[in-house]
Amino acid sequence: MILVVDVGTSGVRAAVVAPDASVGHVHHREVLPSSPAPGFVEFDPAAMAAAALDVASAALAAGGPVQAVGIANQRASTVVWDRATGEPVAPGVGWQDLRTAGVCLMLRDQGIRLAPNVSATKAQFLLDLADPDRSRDLCVGTVDSWIAWTLSAGTLHVTDPSNAALTGLRTADGTAWNEPVVEALRIPPTALATVVDSSGVIGDAAALDGAPPIAGMAGDQQASLIGQGCLLPGLAKITFGTGGMLDLCLGDQRPAFETRGPGGTFPVVAWTRGGRTTWGVEAVMLSAGTNVEWLRDDLGIIATAAESHEVAAGCEDTGGVIYVPALLGLGTPAWDYGARGTLLGVTRGTGRAEVVRAVLEGVAQRGADLVEAAERDGGTPIPSLRIDGGMSANPTFVQALADATDRPVEVSPVREATTLGAAFLAGLAIGTWADEAEVVATWAPRAAVGPRRHFDRERWQDACRRARAWVPELSALDF
């Protein structure tokens, strides 16, 4: 039995995972971020730690004892705390926070290329705030480091390569902290976490009853990849949450590009085990479920997210209407922050059902964009897709995704596969599952959907071109 602590952007969940990959004894506590100014996203690290201990203890009491603990977490969000007291020295800075965008542009002029959504400049900002002369003994970490510190009662300051690679502070091969970047940002090397395998016994969760060993750690997207059994080259998943993330497993060969590939994807460390690194590429959709929330909360044409399926099913097609879901710009492949959401082809006969279907199909078309980009940059075909996240519960959307990508789509048996992924990593470390092949064999999709009709991809690409460069000054930004 494996206890998993899964820290998302809006809350902390704990669950117990059995050897048959069933998930039970789920406990959740909401820990919402705040936005004190436009572009700022902060969270309370102390509240996050308290919630993690609370739900972990509750799940353990209900489903324990357990043989290991796994951690999955929102990536790139950054915490700085005092090593002696264990107290955070400032609010945590969330991965969506853009306050350091100007710093990133200035660093680019110095030959250092960093994006504001990675941890590096967030860490610099927090250190400048709490320790401008760098005289204090502080720890700098991503959320996995903070939760491991919390569960171990302050004895572990560690991270795994799937998280470390998203800090902007690692060398291109992922083997060490990048000294020139660390020096440029004035981050004391002693403040950084020790990098350990994603799967392997790290130390005891001394703050929990029985002090089970922490044996698995991974960022949320990599944990979802593993949780959906994508541990062999060519297997890929998309998580459709607020945004959308495609991750493709490539095996032990690192992609040839250092930062961003020709197709607009990024190289990522999928996981490490026994000192061996498994690589992947990641493609990003900046808004997915956000578009359904827009229909519900801002337009008011649906009452619930689930109703989008029922309303869209009221028409056979959109009547020629195309929606480009660029509410926050376009990610892979274009990376145009100045693109904006676009509704085209509206006529007097366009009704509520056509608009809702167009939104779902637009997100599906963006899913196809991610698949094409990952195949190009990964150099391998993706014969089928596995999906999780909130939108995976929408049958109309799932069918549209199969149609847009022209390939089978398999739906995860659990909506949030991150929990399973962290459990698999911890279980591999202690022998619950013998190897990656045994984990792959646990995959049992809740549903499998094949394509039924053809989507006009050329017309879709034309619609995307029309949506681009709507805010030219934002379109000019390139991180």
Per DSSP, the residues of 105-118 read HHHHHTT----TTS
* Token pair of 273 as six digits: 């085990």
**What sign has the CA pseudo-torsion 162, 163, 166, 172?**
negative
Which residue carries 């350091």 as its tokens? Answer: 100
Q: What single-letter DSSP state applies at residue 254?
A: P
Cβ neighbours of residue 361 under 8 Å, at least 6 residues apart?
A: 318, 322, 323, 400, 404, 455
How far apart, in whole angstroms, are the C-alpha atoms of residue 181 and residue 259? 15
pLDDT tier at 479, thresholds 50, 70, 90 = confident
Domain spans of the chain?
A: 2-220
Cβ neighbours of residue 299 under 8 Å, at least 6 residues apart?
A: none
Cβ atoms within 10 Å, residue 355: 22
Mean pLDDT score of the chain: 96
The pLDDT of 58-68, averaged and rounded, is 96
Element spanning 226, H or E: helix 220-227
pLDDT of residue 114: 94
Cβ neighbours of residue 269 under 8 Å, at least 6 residues apart?
A: 161, 162, 164, 165, 174, 222, 277, 278, 279, 280
Q: Which tens digit of pLDDT belongs to each residue from 341-391?
A: 999 999 999 999 999 999 999 999 999 999 999 999 999 999 999 999 999
pTM: 0.95
Domain spanning 2-220, CATH architecture: 2-Layer Sandwich (3.30)
How far apart, in whole angstroms, are the C-alpha atoms of residue 332 and residue 293? 22
pLDDT tier at 174, thresholds 50, 70, 90 = confident
Q: Which tens digit of pLDDT belongs to each residue from 387-433?
A: 999 999 999 999 999 999 999 999 999 998 999 999 999 999 999 99
